[in-house]
Amino acid sequence: MKRIILHCDLNNFYASVECVKNPQLKGKCVAVCGSEDDRHGIVLAKSQPAKMLGVKTGDTILEARRKCGNLIVVRPDFDTYYDYSEKVKSIYSRYTDLIESFGMDECWLDISGNENLSGDGLAIAEEIRNSVREETGLTISVGVSFNKVFAKLGSDMKKPDATTVISKENYKDKVWCLNANEMIFVGRRTFKTLQKYGIITIGDIARTQPDFLKKILGKNGFDLWAYANGLDFSPVSHIDSKPIPQSISRGITCMESLLSVYEAERVVAELSVKVSKNLRREHLLATGVQLAIKEDNLTVQQYSDNLEFPTHNAKEIYEVSQKLLFQKHIWKRNIRALTVRTYNLVKEENYQQLHIDFDIDTHEKVCVVDNTLNGIRKKLGNDKIFNGCRLYGTKMPTGKSEHSSLPPASF
């Protein structure tokens, strides 16, 4: 069967969602950025008008404002971005169930065989583009090709809101003239290595002996030669065949150093809630928890322990994290950053073996409470209900061990 692969890329995704949420932002220079206060003030996404003035992803807010004096900065809303991503995928699913995500805003679609029902690849791509625009207010760029690598290249060639076809007949004319680093899997370091040998374009890669590329780049060299010559036969995964991630974590670098174990505890509690939310979203349970602590001198201490029973409940994740903080960590310096990581993840629907001492009744009660809290947050916002440890005391002058006699805050 003739392969027809689409690569659909949502244009300026985060910024575009913000403009849909707030129509007053449409047509203006908008940048989605981290907070300037907590030292994460870089551009995560920008609107098309801001992009045209030179604002780039990764710019600091200061750099972006120098390029664009009327820049409007908004904070990211990842929950909303995820919801829009799922809405767009539901449109894709009308045409195929072979949908492979490549980040929140990009997907490959294998529509091979659908041309008899909906038209050729170009016609289907145009139909999908129109549906996404009409139903979500967002725009996508689509690459249409006979493999995944060239489909990805196609979606990058015309932006925003466009379709590019790269066929077996025209790929040498359209692709080989492009710089090598425009092809997926050619990163900055690989491109620098290629440049040393005068290999600048994708066509140069295609015309170079594969054995030589393998010699200078390892196995990746042969793969790049194959991709440049259109020899990519990798399949598009089924929409439900998501590989289980090795871990899910959330971390934060604090605006000010944490001066006591109880200040750190409050941060650990909030991170546990966020990790729990991500686990639920992926329908996964964790069997282990790791706490990473970065001190003021930038040294990192890591502690881990197993959970009694696989869970995605914030309270149970927090309790293990709190134990690691209070019992394992020896406080020598103030804390600059914290990360709560869950690992050894299993699917929610898998059967789990109980051990004889496990209190399943308490676990199920915690599940009910956690589900209720998540329902409230989803309906009213994350700031409407929070953990009791947020209310614990004020900043303590030191983080010395004498504070360990104080009671831990309530979750």
Contacts of 273 (CB under 8 A, 6+ apart): 314, 318, 387
Separation between Cα atoms, residue 13 and residue 363, nearest integer Å: 39
What DSSP character marks residue 244? P
Separation between Cα atoms, residue 403 and residue 330, nearest integer Å: 12
Structure tokens at 33: 């950025």
Find the helix or strand (DSSP H, E) in which 100 lies: strand 99-101
The answer to whether 238 touches 368, Cβ cutoff 8 Å, is no
The answer to whether 258 touches 271, Cβ cutoff 8 Å, is no
Cis peptide preceding 76, ω within 30 of 0 = no
Closest CA to 246 of 354, 346, 316: 346
Give the active site residues.
106
**Residue spans of beta strands (DSSP E) within 312-343:** 335-343
